[in-house]
Structure 1
Amino acid sequence: MVKTEVSNKEAVINRIEKSSANNIRFAVTDIDGVLRGKFLSKDKVLKALKSGKIGFCNVIFGWDINDACYTNTEASGWHTGYPDAQAFIDVDTLISIPWDDDKPFLIGDFRHDDVFKDICPRTLLKNIEKQAFDLGLLPKYACEFEWFNFSETPQSLYEKDYRNPTPLTPGMFGYSLLRSSLNQEYINEIFDTLKELNIPLEGLHTETGHGVYEACITYDDLSTAADQAIIFKTVVKEIAYQYEILASFMAKWNAALPGCSAHIHQSLWDLKDSKNLFYDSDDENNMSETMKQFLAGQLHCLPHILPMFAPTVNSYKRFVDGSWAPTSISWGIENRTTALRVINPDCNATRIEHRVPGADINPYLAMSAALASGLYGIKHKLKLEDDTFVNGNAYDNQKLKSLPTNLFKATKAMKESPIANELFGVNFVDHFIRTREWEWKQYEPQIDNWELKRYFELI
């Protein structure tokens, strides 16, 4: 994101005042990780920036991904009358949209709202990040997304009843420069536009599957990385629209094809940003004690908080042996069959890759869960268990504990575990669990294409 200090709010106000745009994009993120926003008049935004707050309908956390209002939640619902909540406009998130005449775009959260401050995903991330700061730790994170592309529009797919969407390119052809050349304007625009938005990519390439790509965002501090991830998905979708392409971040749109991941790369540094605290050259695997404790915490907490990484009914279709997605509570050195992959080449790049999240994550919640569970291991000085380490194919290891196999089981495990409350607070967990229970109850497998209709474009 384009960074500014809070003390430079006047500079942001001045930039908006000088903008030729008559309206401003403003968005917040709902519990499913979908940006919900408005086009606001310049005058309204400028007044809100001076006060620091703006009204946003309470329904933002009171409905599901398809705008069906929850009937089982306390924080928002018909019983509240859906009043306005108080959204905070974060000037640190200011970007300009190049394909919309450089229109200013700002992200907000609910850190100052009496009801929503405990359940807002972005606020949760900020709070957990502060816990790391208080321990003298600077979290550095990055997301790498896989997504499928189709020669469709929302209208054409709707008219097809979400049947047989046409892939952008045919065939299983990972790391293909040839296939990329067929749509090079689209691919180049994604790469170049993201750089212009200060969301730099380390790489972009085809994955194995029909019309599927993977992009790795360059690592940054935690809050910036999460904002970059949420904007990345929207930017890709909007650019795709311009080429009559539909980009889908659904975890598993086709059972015969690999799913789409959102691997999270993580490391901890000192507060001066000068030393990678995961690296220890005296250890045979270059792993510091801090890294081992962090890794142990993530393994320990994983089965108790899985819906934070796999939030939809469709998420669990991705966890199939031999599919490049993990199916067990496991870790390994440079092992892509495990849930957690240790990457340990040198002091600059030693990190943990969390391979459980799918592309359908809410980045704020997934990164919150990753950091909170790692800090849990540090606070409790947890040790790595020998029975979680894998040297070889984790899919063939029958001794490993398996991940829950559907959203119902995973949500039940989280609801019954005290660990979730310790990590995220009672109010957040209560609301989040209720939304996942709702999501499972909406599932009607007998309805043809239910998952495609619900998740294909929106997630």
Structure 2
Amino acid sequence: MVIGKLADRLVAEGYAHLWICYTDYNGRLAGRSIPRSRFAHVAERGTNFAKANFNFTILDQQVPDPRFTADTGDVLAIPDSEAVYPLPFHPGTALSFAMLHEEDGSLWDGCPRAALQRAVAALAEAGLSARIGLEPEFYLFEDEDLTPATRAGMYTIAGLDAQAAFIEQLTQHLVEMDITLEQIGKEYGPGQYEATATPADPVTAVDRYLVFRLAVRSIARAHGLRASFMPKPDATLAGCGLHVHVSLRDLATGADRTADPDHPSGLSAEARSFLAGWLQHADALTGLGAPTANSAKRLQPASWAPAHVCWGIGNRAALVRVPGLGARARLEFRSGDNTCNPYLYVAGLIWAGLDGLRRGLDPGPPAEADVGRLPATELAARGVRFLPRSTEAALDALDADTALAEGLGPLLHQEFLRVKRAELAMYRIQVTPWERAAYFEAP
């Protein structure tokens, strides 16, 4: 569909409202609703937003020493006519993902969606494309006190039965949005679920993930529930990750470039080097994919979340998992969570993989043990190190990573760090109930 026909299509299909959306550096969907009378104007010209919006934290507090202030002008959010989704849970409303432009029409360097497009273009220059599958975990609670929507056991049919009405409505609405779930299941934690959508090209996969997240929250509210994608909503609960599955393809032929049945790993030379790039940049990728103070509380040893830099075949304790051999050969990166900006996170994974390809890196042998349960001496003997043990260390690693900085571009790289460090600084001065319980009457 060409842009000039977008407004006509929306009117013909009976839409009264168009939500034009972009993501801020916290990964939140932001935007505004456009009435039908303005469809044609906005399809061509876009709608403006202050650049200053991008220097605010998740709590809507402006960062110290912001780059973008009240006098730094606007960006124009121009809807992508190929990324329009009906919102059946809001009848008469469609959502379009936007590209952010400068006033002169050029793409803005700070646009997260454009950053992922640049990474995809760089992958194409290497003769490759990628199919991406995003696998988010989330909780359904009955209230703010974290009462789980069900206490059915992990992976049980009882867990599906308990929330069958929610799952059926979610699945049906996603079909109406042309998003197909491969599966949805009851996860480990009480009230925790995990879903997997059909893989797609990187930009489409992230677009669909963001629409999925919106749908989960909206439909949960309609069922009297609260959905949370928080990495670690409580110390006693299993964490929620955002696993990223990547399959490499030949750009010209579409042939698989991930598997090699003649190699012991089951992976092609390109996939092995791509994987090695992930391991090489693991600390920085954790800063990009798990960028909040809460994120670090999920990445603990022996927690079913990765805490060490290694890879394995079928090994869920590893940072990078190859689910299986042959047709199941793909790369799964496991340290990220839903507090990331997914465009930047997937872009970072592509840039890290490309660096591995360009340098011909080798990932070494796969881990064949539950590394989260090995003593430090054994880990050292195997050459396995920890991921950053704090959010501050992960963000510092991202700051120092020249390959990811170059790939993302200086504006996005530095402003993402500015926002997340400001958020972390606010967290550090908070006083928690745990601290009061421990120290109020002590010593």
Above 0.5 in TM-score? Answer: yes
Residues 28-427 of structure 1 correspond to what in structure 2 (within 5 A)?
Answer: 28-51=22-45, 53-74=46-67, 76-77=68-69, 80-81=70-71, 83-112=73-102, 117-152=108-143, 157=144, 164-170=145-151, 173-272=153-252, 274-346=254-326, 348-386=327-365, 389-395=366-372, 396=374, 397-399=378-380, 400-427=384-411
More deviation, 276-285/263-272: 276-285
**CA–CA distance in structure 2, aligned partners of residues 230 and 96 of structure 1:** 13
Shift in alpha-carbon separation, 1:113–1:122, aligned structure 2, 3 A = farther
Partner-residue secondary structure (3-state), 1:71: coil
Asked if structure 1 preserves the Cα contact closer than 8 Å seen for 2:344 and 2:408, the reply is no
Asked if structure 2 preserves the Cα contact closer than 8 Å seen for 1:63 and 1:69, the reply is yes
The residue type equivalent to 2:134 in the other structure is C
Partner-residue secondary structure (3-state), 2:65: coil
Asked if structure 2 preserves the Cα contact closer than 8 Å seen for 1:31 and 1:120, the reply is no
User: 1:113 Cα shift?
Assistant: 5.9
User: 1:145 Cα shift?
Assistant: 0.8
List gaps (5 residues or longer) in structure 1: 158-163, 451-459
Partner-residue secondary structure (3-state), 1:100: coil
1:350-376 per-position Cα deviation (integer Å, ceiling 9, x unaligned): 210111112322211211111111111
**CA–CA distance in structure 2, aligned partners of residues 233 and 178 of structure 1:** 23
Partner-residue secondary structure (3-state), 1:263: strand
Asked if structure 1 preserves the Cα contact closer than 8 Å seen for 2:291 and 2:339, the reply is yes
The residue type equivalent to 2:407 in the other structure is L
Shift in alpha-carbon separation, 1:258–1:39, aligned structure 2, 3 A = same
1:164-204 per-position Cα deviation (integer Å, ceiling 9, x unaligned): 32211125x11111122122111111122112212211100
* Coordinate RMSD, CA, aligned: 2.0
User: How much identity, in percent, do the aligned residues show?
Assistant: 27
The residue type equivalent to 1:151 in the other structure is E
Partner-residue secondary structure (3-state), 2:165: helix
Asked if structure 1 preserves the Cα contact closer than 8 Å seen for 2:274 and 2:353, the reply is yes
Aligned residue in 1 for 2:440: none
Asked if structure 2 preserves the Cα contact closer than 8 Å seen for 1:304 and 1:419, the reply is no
Aligned residue in 1 for 2:438: none
Asked if structure 2 preserves the Cα contact closer than 8 Å seen for 1:24 and 1:45, the reply is yes
**CA–CA distance in structure 1, aligned partners of residues 197 and 185 of structure 2:** 12
Q: In structure 2, which of residues 14, 21, 38 is the aligned counterpart of residue 20 of structure 1?
A: 14
The residue type equivalent to 1:370 in the other structure is L
Shift in alpha-carbon separation, 1:34–1:321, aligned structure 2, 3 A = same
User: 1:425 Cα shift?
Assistant: 2.1
Shift in alpha-carbon separation, 1:280–1:11, aligned structure 2, 3 A = same
Aligned residue in 2 for 1:438: 422
The residue type equivalent to 1:385 in the other structure is G
The residue type equivalent to 1:61 in the other structure is F
Asked if structure 2 preserves the Cα contact closer than 8 Å seen for 1:29 and 1:109, the reply is no
**CA–CA distance in structure 2, aligned partners of residues 308 and 434 of structure 1:** 12
Shift in alpha-carbon separation, 1:94–1:138, aligned structure 2, 3 A = same
The residue type equivalent to 1:41 in the other structure is P
**CA–CA distance in structure 1, aligned partners of residues 181 and 76 of structure 2:** 34
User: 1:82 Cα shift?
Assistant: 5.7
User: 1:253 Cα shift?
Assistant: 0.7
Partner-residue secondary structure (3-state), 1:110: strand
Aligned residue in 2 for 1:161: none
The residue type equivalent to 1:392 in the other structure is A
**CA–CA distance in structure 2, aligned partners of residues 417 and 18 of structure 1:** 49
Asked if structure 2 preserves the Cα contact closer than 8 Å seen for 1:111 and 1:123, the reply is no
**CA–CA distance in structure 2, aligned partners of residues 35 and 89 of structure 1:** 14
Partner-residue secondary structure (3-state), 2:159: helix
1:63-96 per-position Cα deviation (integer Å, ceiling 9, x unaligned): 111111122331x23xx43633222211111111
**CA–CA distance in structure 2, aligned partners of residues 82 and 168 of structure 1:** 46
List gaps (5 residues or longer) in structure 2: 435-443
Partner-residue secondary structure (3-state), 1:359: coil
Asked if structure 1 preserves the Cα contact closer than 8 Å seen for 2:6 and 2:43, the reply is no
TM-score normalised by the chain length of structure 1: 0.88
**CA–CA distance in structure 2, aligned partners of residues 176 and 10 of structure 1:** 49
The residue type equivalent to 2:132 in the other structure is Y
Asked if structure 2 preserves the Cα contact closer than 8 Å seen for 1:287 and 1:344, the reply is no
1:423-450 per-position Cα deviation (integer Å, ceiling 9, x unaligned): 3222221111211211111104643379
User: 1:102 Cα shift?
Assistant: 3.9
**CA–CA distance in structure 1, aligned partners of residues 303 and 39 of structure 2:** 47
